[in-house]
Structure formats: C-alpha cells, structure tokens
Structure 1
Amino acid sequence: MPHTSTAVEIHELSSPADLQQLTHVFDDVWHPDPGNRPVSVDMLRALSHAGNYVAGAYVGDRLAGGSVGFFAAPVGRTLHSHVTGVSRIGRGHNVGHALKMHQREWAVARGLQTITWTFDPLVARNAYFNLAKLGAVPVAYHRDFYGELADELAGGDESDRLLVSWSLGSPAPPAPADTADDLLGAGARLGIDVVEGEPRAVTDIGSGSAVVIPVPRDIEAMRRTHPVVAARWRIALRAALAPLLDPAGTRRAIRFLRSGHYVVEPTGD
C-alpha cells in the first residue's frame, strides 16, 4: 500500500522505467556531472531487487522526489539512507518529510531500529530538518567524505559530511525555545566569529562550555556567487564542529536552531 501525506503518494520502485525517472529527479536536484551521478539505474535495480529501500514520491501523477537506502551494520538493525532528493515539482508539498516518514515505517516493519545518513553540515535547512524536526543525532564529522562530487550544489568544494543516527523508537524533540542570543548571554561560547565577512573558527573553548556555531543562511547560493567565501565557511565549520564530535572527547548533545546555529552542549555523562 502507498503511504499518503497530503497530496503526496510514496511508492517503492523497481521497474527500469521507474528507476530511470528517479535518476532524472536526482539530476534535477543536483545537476551532477553525467559521469558521477548519485546513483545509476543499474545500481538502483540491483538495490531494489535485493530488498533494499528504493522509493519515489508522486505529486499527482508526477514523480517529484525519491529516496534510496540499503541495509547496513549492525546487521539486522540499521538502514543507511544514501540519497534523498526533492525536485522543483515537489516544492511546497512536504515531500521530504513524507519520504522520511515512509522510510521510517518501512524500516520498522522490517525490525530495524536505526536509520543513518549523511548531509552537508553547512546547509542550514537540512540541518534544521534532520536535527530539529526529525530528531536525528549527529555521531561523526567526516572530512571530504565523498571526495570531489562535481555537482552544482557542492560546487568545487570538498564534501564534508555530518553523519547522523535516527532512533526509530524515539519521538521527535520539542522545538527549541531558546535562541542563540539567549545562550550566548547565559555564557555559551561562539564557535565561529565573523569579522568583516570572514568566518573564523574559535578554537580556545573549554571542554565544559556550551558552544553556539553559526552557518550561512544559504550556502548553496554562496557557492555560486562567492565560492571562496563559501570554502572558508567550510574550513571554519570543520575546525569548530569536528573536534566537538571526537569520540574520545567530552560527550556532547548537538541541536540546531531555526536561526541557523548549531548548539553543542556537554551532557554530563
């Protein structure tokens, strides 16, 4: 049975024709180099045939988004969501949320406990969706995770990624009530300082301090118009955030505010 959310219907995909359409949706989202697509039709066919997650979101009779995931370690417990994208047709229809809810139901029905995925930590809207709306938890910062992607959204910059884990038995968190100014006023430290438009990581932060880390409102537009500044933001965020996700360091909780700030706080564990 399809999963329906408002005007969106989600279906698992398996036929070569449907999978070809799905690659066109991903092309519309990322505008990749033709030789370096996020996933090919033959790989989609193999993943679907082997029982992995390959789904498309329809608005009316038009394919407007899709998601691809595969079983991952720990065996029998985890689905890794490799790629999820929504085309221009799907904007304004909550297609991304509908896809994640369908993916969650699919995983729960197969006895899985966790879904993991990576995303560009500089994309504020994705950080808010993943951390604040879904309640996924950051577990690692990976430097240049995919190497050169050569797609329009990434530009020519390195492909740093934040790995998150979504516990399927946990409810979505409440919306954050505090603001970046509230936290800074209460003694939190600023993790990136912007001086004359240049982002600079602040590295002399004690292990017991809460840290507020801003990111640009629209890094993808910045990569098109000011690619050098965008690259400096990646360098600054890497320097500010990656050490706080060091598994050997202090245990920390990470959330994201609608204003475009990561908030990293020691948990006391």
Structure 2
Amino acid sequence: MSHTYTIRLFETYEDFKQMADLERLIWGIEPIPENQTMIAHKNGGLALGAFQGDQLIGFSYSFAGFRDGHSYLCSHNLGIHPDYQKQGIGDALKKVQRQEAIKLGYSLITWTYDPLESVNGYLNLSKLNGICRTYIEDCYGDMPDSFSEGMPTDRFQIEWHITEDYLDQPNQWSEEGAEMAASWGLNADGILSIDEINIQLEGEKWLVPVPKNFQQIRQTHPQAALQWKKTYRKLFNQLFDAGYTAVKLIKTKDEPVNYYLLVKQEQLSF
C-alpha cells in the first residue's frame, strides 16, 4: 500500500461528504452534517484533508470562535482512517492547519482531548508545543462513541498560540526537579491504578502519570478506569486553579505510564 498523500483545503461538497463517512468509520457516531461543515468552512472555519488520490484518509475540521472581544479557531475534529494511523498524518495536518489559520488572521487555535489518551497528549503538548491550563468536566455529556461510552467526558482544553516563535523549536521543558503529584501502581487484580499525593502546591514543577493504554483499562476494568477519571478531575482542577500549566508529555521506556509535566504559569514565555 502506498502511503503517499497530499494535504489541501476542502474544495467540493464531495470532500465534506467523505469527511462525514470517515467520522462514522473512526468513531462509530453520526457525523456533523456536511452542509453545516461546508458553511462553517466558508465563514471563518477551516476544513482540510489528507488525500490519497481522490480518497480522504485524514481530516482536520475547525470553526470560528469568539470570546471576550477576541476571535480564535476551534479545532473540533482530527481524524485519521484506521489503516493510516500512527504514520504522522495527524501531525502533518496540524502544521498545515496552523499555516492556514495564520493566513485567515488567527493567533490562537483551541481544542479539547481526553487527558487519559497518552498518544494525543504527546502530539498536542510535546510535538506541537500546545499548553493546557483548563480542565472541563463532562465536556460532552454522555457520548455513545467507542472511546467514551460509560465514562465522564472530561477534557483538557489545549491552547495553541500559533504566531509564537517557540512553536518552531523542539519542546525544551525539562522534568529535572519535578515532584510527583500522584503515584501509580498495580492493584490486587494487577490493574494499573493511580493514587493522589497530598500536594502542597509550592513546587516549581509537577509530574502526573498517564496510562500508555487507557482504552485497554476502560474496556477490561471499567471501575479502575473510572478511578483514573475521578482522580484526574480532582488533581488537575487543583493544579490548574493553583496556576500550573501542562506543557509536555514525557514518554518512558520501562513503565506502563508516561508523565505529564506541569510548570508555573509565570514561567511561560508569552
């Protein structure tokens, strides 16, 4: 199978129909109607896709946002066909999204993701240099999709400050001197679990463990997955309210978890 592809803005109604079909395939839910996504694209939004010939294999869909006198771009969906995942297409789509958003006059793109999805965290924070200082409880309510069913839909809200020069540099944040905000272990059933540490909120940096494969925990031991959700909700609300910001996801080799790195907000360069 050839893995060559091109990335371009959506141009025809057929492009939006293909996006709807891909949404159904990836998440098993009813997609956003294509007449809505097309109009949003033409009025300050941004829809672009990775195409192999005429076939859409990945897409990024965004709409215009406005709050407190400032406009920004809401990046609502990023989806890759299952046969083409883990090949860097999502990263490539985000980089083109940044370029096109700047052309439209934006300086900020925001989106949400489940903080327990480690792969997404690595892309959003470590590769793209996004930051997070907002935790949204039960963002989407009860979602019936294959990734969220039976779980509260808590989300991190990413801020991607697309005109800042630091985005073009490798993520420079170091975990040196960071303290553990929570510990992980294996419970009596051998399932990965998390325990909150009573943090005093005086440290310079904090580390929070995140499972490398949360979906496996959710599918096989939903109660353990729910405990991760509850602990995350309490812990990150506490950290963000105290002025800390998530800036990186650190991969490990020999542990079943990776780690979020949080620093004081005043350490940010913008």
State how far apart, in whole Å, the 1-side matches of 2:112 and 2:248 are. 15
Q: Which moved more, 1:195-204 or 1:112-121?
A: 195-204
1:28-84 alpha-carbon deviations (Å, 9 max, x no partner): 22112x4xx3x2223212212324211121134321111111111256641110111
Measured against aligned partners, the alpha-carbon deviations of 1:169-226 in whole angstroms (never above 9, x if no partner) come to 23335346856xxx5xx56124244352363442520111232111111112322222
Distance 1:51 1:178 in 2: 37
Whether 1:266 and 2:256 are equivalent positions in the alignment is no
Matches within 5 A, 1:16-31: 16-31=13-28
Amino acid in the other structure paired with 2:182: G
1:102, 1:51 → 2: CA distance? 16
TM-score using structure 1 length: 0.84
The SS at the match of 2:111 is: strand
Residue aligned with 1:174, SS: coil
SS of the residue 2:25 aligns to? helix
Return the match for 2:147 from 143, 149, 153: 153
Taking structure 2 as the reference length, what is the TM-score of the superposition? 0.84
Give the aligned length: 253
Paired with 2:266 and 2:72, the residues of 1 have a C-alpha distance of 27
Q: Could you tell me which amino acid in structure 1 is paired with residue 208 of structure 2?
A: I
Change (3 A) 1:176 1:217: farther
Q: What is the match of residue 64 of structure 1?
A: 57
The residue that corresponds to 2:33 in the other structure is: 40
Contact 1:155–1:223 at 8 Å: present in 2 too? no
Output aligned runs, 1:247-262, within 5 Å. 249-252=242-245, 254-259=247-252, 260-262=258-260
CA deviations over 1:121-149 (Å, ceiling 9, x no partner): 00001001100000001020000001011
Code of the residue aligned with 2:185 in structure 1: it is: V
1:234-245 aligned at under 5 Å gives the runs 234-245=229-240
| Residues 252 and 116 of structure 1, relative CA distance in 2, 3 Å threshold | closer
Q: Which runs of 5+ in 2 are unaligned?
A: 253-257
Say if 1:136 and 1:166, in contact at 8 Å, map to a contact too.
Answer: yes
Confirm or deny: 8 A CA contact 1:203 1:240 kept in the other structure: no
Q: Which runs of 5+ in 1 are unaligned?
A: 1-5
Percent of matched pairs sharing the same residue: 25
2:211 to 204, 210, 216: 216
Per the alignment, residue 199 of structure 2 pairs with 205
Task: Choose which of 3, 7, 16 in structure 1 pairs with 2:4.
Answer: 7
Aligned residue type for 2:96:
H
The answer to whether 1:134 aligns with 2:125 is: no
